[in-house]
Structure 1
Amino acid sequence: MTRRFNVLVFVVVMLLIAAGGMVVWAQHDDEEPVTILGTWTAKQAEQFETVLRGFGIPFRYQGTAAQREVLLSKVQSGEPPDIVIMPGIGELAEYADQGLLKPLDGLYDPQEYGAPWKSTGSPSEHVYWVPVKADLKSIVWYRRGHEPADAPAPLRSWCIGMGDDGASGWPGTDWIEDLVLQRAGSEVYEKWALGTGEVKWWRSDPVRTAWEAWAGLLRQDEDAAERALLTDHRGDPDGNGLLFDGRRGCTLEHQGSFALSFYRSDAGHARLTDSAPLLPGGGKRVRAHEVTGDFAALFSDRSRARALIRRLASEEGQQKWADLANVFSANRQVKPRGGAVEREIARRLGEGPRCLDASDVMAPAVRDAFYEAVLLTIARAAAGQDPDIPGLLQDVQRVQDAQSAQGADSRAAPKTVCSTR
């Protein structure tokens, strides 16, 4: 009897020790720094980390241009970051549908954020991401004192680079998206981005003619097309962006407002204008502006991670981020900083029809097919070949059809892309 009692006591003690160990481990885990994966590197990463340090919450930030691949690797290994910050809403929606994202309900007020960045239009009852940075597209940069003529510009005028550490080709999708938007308007653009209805949008006239206009521009100069294919969109690592690289001889750059960070010490000499009059066959009318954003989402439900999201999404956090890094916020309460150029960007971000970057909204498989088709277009133009636009678009449409056939209708994805408010 005594022996049996001693054994029982031993087992109970061991269970208590194990349980105690688990409690200690859970407490230790919750005390670990919040891990954050984002796209910002170099100076902007330093500025972001300065903002985070002001929150008083321990963190580890990793910035990489190859974020899609890094995130996928971490998720597949079972070690995702606590927080991810990325522009790809379509990708975030897939993670949410797989049950990998934690809802942000109650961590911020979506009504503080302007459309189309805020999470609206989704049939899901939860909010899974918050915009923590906004950027303007549908603009063209030029050097001060070299204002462009109000007419479509030839290929030799354009500073173009397709390269990136991760998703090469997206600068080309920006061209095609802008052409569709300026030529066909926001209603058609939104339906194409979401793949809604019975229309085979990739083979439709608005998309095909926009793509042909861009391919026609590229075919003006095979050497220039080849340089664009082999050039990083940011320019040389130690340079001030493509626009201020005197070796290239180009005078215009079709880039978002984030290009100011590429220009570094020359940023004060950069000026912007609306893209519509300068696009090939784009027409002079500005129908809408394409916009983009960086969205924060939670892969863990740790209290520290939730607290950091709350602080970052708050008006105070967004204002600090805007002030320190001279970036723009989708939060309506945040006041932009900077000079005349920054005020022009802020004005366009806050008025008129605005549409989210179409490829950012698309399902990852469709987006990747879009990137590949763009790279094939420019490669064929550089080789003096017919780009075969109908064939390329048919290939992308097949990917879209396959997504639909698999019932890949995301509940978390937004159902609207454009907004006038």
Structure 2
Amino acid sequence: MTRRLKLLVLLVVMLLIAAAGVVVVWTQHDDEEPVTILGTWTGRQEEQFKTVLRGLGIPFRYQGTAAQREVLLSKVQSGEPPDVVIMPGIGELAEYEHHGRLKPLDGLYDPKQYGAPWNAAGTASGHVYWVPVKADLKSIVWYREGHRPADSPAPMRSWCIGMGDDGASGWPGTDWIEDLVLQRSGPGVYTKWALNTGGPAKKWWTSDPVRTAWTAWADLLRQDPRAARTALLTDHRGAPGGHGLLFGGGAAGCSLEHQGSFARSFYGKKDTEHARLMDSAPLLPGGGTRVRAHEVTGDFAALFSNSSRARELIRRLSSRKAQQKWAEVAGVFSANREVIPKDEVVEHQIAQRLLKGPRCLDASDVMAPAVRDAFYEAVLLTIARVAAKPGKDPDVRGLLRDVQQVQDVSTRDTGRAALRTVCSTR
């Protein structure tokens, strides 16, 4: 080997060593960067959540946005996803898992603290890819203290309804449909509809359980087309800085609100003290029924990076200690069985229903995003048609056929369901 060749070889080796050194330096630097977190909480709840995060002892950078889906997609496509994402849409997280974007959370939390349907070990892959860090109860109705309604279907004029939302208008209407399907047909049918299971020939969207539930809700709207129009134009939280829908932000004279446990965060402090709840089943349109199960929802943390700090943050955030602090700081609820709720009647009622008895995850949350969006749109179209042409059939069958077509395409694209079940048995 000539002297010149030896020098060239030495130069190449030195360059390779230098390049490797740069990689090591950047790897160390990345591990020292704050954990990036993308969530939907803004305003007061964002500050409360940051208080909890600061107590975890891990540097972080949180971004809250109502347009989470678009922001996340943009970040993923640009190759710079956040380390941690917190969202209610398990169906959306399942799509990212399907494309290999999520990192398993196996071993990061105690499964005994999170029972079904919260336990993400119920995924078809057998791995854990998300864990609930906040929980909420649905299948309930709020009313003012001292004005408990009779156990019978309530007329349209009684309901405080708002469909508006910063990120996804129409979802409050899907809660009505889901609750009707759940209480009328039970958890078994509800699960098959939510997960689109039961054989390739089964068309759940056009099936009798879904169609009759949707028709019952449409008939309720048709009782008062003006109230339906008001619902279409009203934010589900009521007016900014107001008292929610139940305490002045809804239609004139309304006295009932079919909304999740998070509705209390929209009420004023004094209003919250006078808000009471009951199971929704007896009040639903089309004939009251017994409680088959409670619909529940949650905000789930998922990991998009291999950062050891991010993994540790999720481990600490899902622990009993952090979940207890989160509940105390913000008055939220946890799916963690070891968290003790406030010693108040309403809090105990919510916590009991969240952790005991048959419970089913929100159906639209576990559906593929395209199907979920079609669900939202069909709800809005139902209300719009009732408001625009009060005496005309809103064509529920046609709307459901359209959603079924979206479901068929989604099934071809994504294949099997991401979850085994969405309901607990007890």
TM range (shorter): over 0.9
Aligned equivalent of 1:391: 398
Aligned pairs (5 A) from 1:6-405: 6-198=7-199, 199-245=202-248, 248-249=251-252, 250-265=254-269, 266-384=271-389, 385-405=392-412
Partner letter of residue 243 of structure 1? L
Partner letter of residue 317 of structure 1? A
Partner letter of residue 48 of structure 1? F
Q: Give distance in 2, aligned partners of 1:355 and 1:30.
A: 38
What do the CA deviations read for 1:34-93 (whole angstroms, capped 9, x no partner)?
011112121211111111101110001111222222212221222211001111111111
Q: Give distance in 2, aligned partners of 1:407 and 1:107.
A: 28
Secondary structure at the aligned position of 1:140 is classed as strand
Residues 12, 132 of structure 1: alpha-carbon distance in 2 compared, 3 angstrom cutoff? same
Task: Name stretches of at least 5 consecutive residues in structure 2 with no aligned partner.
Answer: none
What do the CA deviations read for 1:366-400 (whole angstroms, capped 9, x no partner)?
11111111111011011024210010111111122
Partner letter of residue 316 of structure 2? R
Contact 2:234 2:250 in 1 (8 A): no
Q: Give distance in 2, aligned partners of 1:19 and 1:251.
A: 68
Q: Give distance in 1, aligned partners of 2:248 and 2:29.
A: 50
Q: Give distance in 2, aligned partners of 1:391 and 1:366.
A: 16
TM-score normalized by structure 1?
A: 0.95
Residues 25, 246 of structure 1: alpha-carbon distance in 2 compared, 3 angstrom cutoff? closer
Identity of aligned residues (%): 75
Task: Name stretches of at least 5 consecutive residues in structure 1 with no aligned partner.
Answer: none
Contact 1:326 1:338 in 2 (8 A): no
Q: Which stretch of structure 1 is more off in the superposition, 65-74 or 161-170?
A: 65-74
Partner letter of residue 405 of structure 2? R
Contact 1:241 1:263 in 2 (8 A): yes
Residues 345, 366 of structure 1: alpha-carbon distance in 2 compared, 3 angstrom cutoff? same
Q: Give distance in 1, aligned partners of 2:111 and 2:26.
A: 35
Q: Give distance in 1, aligned partners of 2:27 and 2:156.
A: 59
- Report how far residue 16 of structure 1 moved: 3.1
What is the root-mean-square deviation of aligned Cα atoms in Å?
Answer: 1.7
Secondary structure at the aligned position of 1:185 is classed as helix
- Report how far residue 149 of structure 1 moved: 2.4
Secondary structure at the aligned position of 2:120 is classed as coil
- Report how far residue 240 of structure 1 moved: 1.9
How many pairs are equivalent?
419
Q: Which stretch of structure 1 is more off in the superposition, 127-136 or 112-121?
A: 112-121
Contact 1:226 1:379 in 2 (8 A): yes
Contact 2:244 2:250 in 1 (8 A): no
